[in-house]
Structure 1
Amino acid sequence: MKKRLIKFALFFGTIITIASSCGSTKEKVKPDEVKTDEITLSDEEKKAFEQVEGDTIVIANDETEYEIIIIDPGFFNWLNSIARPEGYYSQTFLENRNQILVINWNQRVLQPSRYDPNLYLQQIDYQPDIDYGYEVNYKLYNYFIFFQRKYNQRLGPFVPRI
């Protein structure tokens, strides 16, 4: 059976350094950044984010013939230990959120001078009129939550909560 691949393979392995300067000027916050006072990370979540060994998750559904490949250290551990369990969200909820998050993601891929091209490597081919099934939507949504929390990004109007 031929599988269509939702183009979504992320390769993160570089160390991200955030530098701050001392001074009396007011700190500017980019619209895509999450203020640290809005998100509280547990020790378990911080440990998952600090993982450096590569994780590869293949999300496949034979019935729908679609798959997603996610390569990001810590995601598998985070998904299994911190994320809400499968069945917590309805498929409609996941599809609606994924549509918004994919649009914002793809816009950032197309603006490498504005958004870090090391974070936003390639577009996601997610069509709202295709039923990808629950598992694909669940794991894609949770990857967006993981990504936003780990890299301090905001892909939509929602605070990325667990």
Structure 2
Amino acid sequence: MNKIIFQIGILLFLFGLAFNSCKSSKEALEITDKERIAFSETVGDTIEIKSDATEYEIIIIEPGFNFWLNSIARPKGFYSQPYLENRNQILVINWNQRVLQPLRFNPNLYELQINYDPNIDYGYDVNFKLYNYFIYFQRKYNQRLGPWLPRI
């Protein structure tokens, strides 16, 4: 009898865990008033992300991103370069998969693939700005490119 009660208890516990893990994958992000200002910008910012040592560059034309990067994003040095490289690798893979699926994902959001090779050292500045663009993009357009919430 105790064995049956114990087994029922385990089943209820497992059912509770399964039920609790079925939350919506899109949790609401708390957007600050300062971010709303950045997101509402209509004048295009052009940010060039490049490294003189590697000859690689990324050009981002996104209204409000420069303001967001300078006033809201974590400062340079907050993240290590290996952290940024690991995150960028995952985010770029997900981004590129969405570019290749225009019927499933908005082709106006995901226009061009990003050629990011994890075996190339792009330098801290390139990785820092690319990572922050991904955070900005996910928060502005309520997207999720990785397994974690895009937090500041």
- Asked if Structure 1 and Structure 2 have the same fold, meaning a TM-score greater than 0.5 normalized by the shorter chain, the answer is yes
Equivalent in 39, 46, 53 of residue 49 of structure 1: 39
Aligned pairs for 1:9-158 (under 5 A) are: 34-36=26-28, 39-158=29-148
Distance 1:30 1:73, change over 3 A: farther
Give the number of the structure with larger relative contact order, counting CA–CA contacts within 8 Å between residues 6 or more apart. Answer: 1
Please give the root-mean-square deviation of Cα atoms over the aligned residues, in Å. Answer: 1.4
Give the superposition deviation at 1:109: 0.2
Could you list the per-position Cα deviations for residues 57-99 of structure 1 after superposition, in whole angstroms to 9, with x for gaps in the alignment? 0012111211110000000000000000000000000000000
Distance 1:30 1:57, change over 3 A: farther
Larger radius of gyration: 2
Indicate the SS of the match to 1:69. strand
Aligned residue pairs total 130
Which blocks of at least 5 consecutive residues in structure 1 are unaligned? 1-28
Give the 4+ runs in structure 1 shifted more than 6 A. Answer: none
Which blocks of at least 5 consecutive residues in structure 2 are unaligned? 1-22
Could you list the per-position Cα deviations for residues 6-61 of structure 1 after superposition, in whole angstroms to 9, with x for gaps in the alignment? xxxxxxxxxxxxxxxxxxxxxxx996xx332xx11110010000000000000121
Indicate the SS of the match to 2:70. helix
What TM-score does the superposition give when structure 1 sets the normalisation length?
0.78
